[in-house]
Amino acid sequence: MSSSTSGPIEYVGKADRKAGRNADRKAAKKTPGGGSRLGCLWSLLAVLGFFGAVIAYVRLGGYVRATLLGLACDLSACSVAGMTVAGWLIIATPAAMLLLTAVLWPRLAKRGRVALGIASAVVVLIAFTFLPGRERDLSDLVKGPGSEAAGDGIMWAFGGAGAALLFLLVLVYVGKAVPAVDRHYNTVATFGAVALMIAALPVAISKSDPTWVRAADVFPDELSMNGDRLVRTAVAEQRGCDGVLPDDKLLNLRNCYLTVRAVYTTDDSDAVATFRAVLYADDETADEVRDGLPRGLAPVGVTGGAITVMSTTREWVLIGTAGHADGHPIAEDERPWVLWPLRQVSYHFIGVQGGLLAEPDPAGEIHPRTR
């Protein structure tokens, strides 16, 4: 008579087989060259990753900074608000990533933790390229158009991060005295730290100095130079540099961020100065573009009676034209004083960019009509 239940002998046999399988697994794990080799591989990868990060930080730091600031300038036309926000984000983004990691880490699977960890590490490494050291200031690291506003954003973000850290430390002691705060510490700490970081941004924007690349900031309504009074009759700006020269490829040889334009008249004569400036990433780029401009080229809309002068200053390619108000041809003896107001406007622009205003010498080859 058969029975569906297992007898004592069969039960013991099953238990022996199960114990044997478990023993085989443990023996496989302890096999020489198994887990130890995998551990050595991960250790080697960790060491290589560390040294790779250090090399990337040293070798690519300048490129990373220039790329980020150039992108911010391109997107915001180098405005005060745009560049300040960019600087603030350089510090606020890794802080947010670290906070996000702390909140989500216990809830994520292994793959999610790896992805979040790698993303956080990359963002933190990028921020480290902007940190000054013993032999370099922030001004040595943050260069180019709008760099002052970006530096202000970075410093105010540090201030917000410091305030957030102090808030968290104080909250720990408050939680010991107030049970309700201790029970909701994570929520209060998260919202409080985020609020302090965000609160630093509008203060940074309001405190930042002008970037001195926008037309309204650079060209005043009136200029008083060498006893002359120059009046601005037109001012404009545009993203990029299309439409400045007959061939757009010339100025677009490298990425141009912004073009500013102003027209001035003077009480010294009937001369009219039209000044254009095209903004690039750095001095070398501006010089390269200027070197590629052919001689005798005139901007769009300029008649044959005007004189065109091209040069560079810092990150700018300067394109100036001078002529009579009615457009009639310039005689040879008129050339010095027709060019005089253009030289004055150029000196003003160069002085604003360099932070040192100066007046041109009226005793030179280019001089006023009445001297």
What residues does each domain of the chain span? 35-207, 215-354
Cα(170)–Cα(167) distance, rounded to whole angstroms?
Answer: 5
CB 267 within 8 A of CB 244: no
Is pLDDT of 360 > 70?
yes
Phi first, then psi: what are they for 309, rounded to 5°?
Answer: -125, 130
Q: What is the mean pLDDT of residues 158-162?
A: 93
Phi first, then psi: what are they for 323, rounded to 5°?
Answer: -170, 175
DSSP 248-308: HHHHTTS---EEEEEEEEESSSSEEEEEEEEE-SSHHHHHHHHHTSPTT---TT--TTSEE
CB 277 within 8 A of CB 251: no
Q: Which is more confidently placed, 305 or 251?
A: 251
Both tokens assigned to 334: 């008129």
The residue behind tokens 């001012």 is: 235
Q: What is the mean pLDDT of residues 306-320?
A: 95
Per-residue pLDDT, 125: 84
Looking at this protein, which amino acid is placed at residue 128? F
Per-residue pLDDT, 292: 95
Per-residue pLDDT, 110: 85
Q: CB-based burial of residue 124 (10 Å sphere; 0-12 exposed, 13-18 middle, 19+ buried)?
A: middle
Per-residue pLDDT, 158: 93
Q: Which is more confidently placed, 252 or 103?
A: 252
Could you read off the pLDDT of 8-66 as tens digits, one per residue? 444 445 445 555 555 555 544 444 444 566 667 666 766 676 666 666 666 677 888 88
Per-residue pLDDT, 307: 93
Q: What is the mean pLDDT of residues 198-221?
A: 92
Q: Lowest mean pLDDT: which of 4-18, 73-87, 269-283? A: 4-18
Per-residue pLDDT, 12: 45
Confidence tier at 348 by pLDDT (50, 70, 90): very high
Confidence tier at 84 by pLDDT (50, 70, 90): very high
Both tokens assigned to 33: 């060259």
CA angle 60, 252, 75 (to 5 degrees): 60
355: closest CA among 139, 153, 207, 67?
A: 139
Per-residue pLDDT, 343: 96
Per-residue pLDDT, 181: 83
Q: What is the pTM of this model?
A: 0.77
